[in-house]
Structure 1
Amino acid sequence: MPLKTSQDDQIQLNLTPMIDVVFLLIIFFMVATKFTEIDRSIELELPKVGSAGEAAVPHKPKAVTVFADGRIELDGEPVDRATLVTQLSAARQATPDLDVILHGDANCPFQHIADTMAACHEADVTQIGITVELATAMSQSKTSTR
């Protein structure tokens, strides 16, 4: 059996792909920085108007919470069913495309949820989202459905 007198070749890590990626990232960030500098250096004189009216304020959806014992809250404030209808109607007058997100307790009898949805319907609210929690083996996350 012959004896080996030379050492095996050392395993070498090929760094070429990693260097290519680094150079591409450098080029990307250099170009992206140039675009932001160009946007800031554009000198414009904006047109002037006599009056502009009020800017439209984006509205956030109203949050209605129904607890297991039947209590109702509108945006964190306790309300009864009649007050809920009144306040949602007033909000609907101010914002015609009013959205309502309904948070219901999982242990709540469905009758409480149905009554709250009927109150929203009385207030002419048509965009109602219901929050649920997805039950998965890995994780649980909250989502809203419409």
Structure 2
Amino acid sequence: MQFHRVQRSRAQVPIVPMIDILFILLVFFIVSTTFKKPRDVLQIEFPTVNEIASEKVTDTRSVIAVDALGNITLDTLAVPEGLLETYLNAFQKQNPGRKLELEADRRLPLERLLKIWDALGKAGIPIKEVPARIKVGSE
């Protein structure tokens, strides 16, 4: 005697729609991804007096001193933020022919040092005529 068997169908997962969805997601991620380019970092070490051969200094110069926090003094006068160019112009009028010297802290950010050189240039003082001494100090 043969009994009628009910054939069970297997649960099938539709593969074709899944492939379409995965393809759409792949295209979306490719289009929306921004690729990062590796950037080179340049480490700058300021030279110290021990590293550079120097000549004996015979003339006296006024000092523009800058500490690690970026506070600027012109001789003994504290210069407020952003007014270095004005102070340099007034200094040149009061002391014609007097040369300057830059004394900066080693931990001073390069951006701050460039702003000081920019102010010197705007005040009409050639940067080549302003030697820079970098204070090593304690770290």
TM range (shorter): 0.3 to 0.5
Name which one, 1 or 2, has greater alpha-carbon Rg.
2
Using the size of structure 1 for normalisation, the TM-score is 0.44
Higher relative contact order (CA 8 A, sep 6+): 2
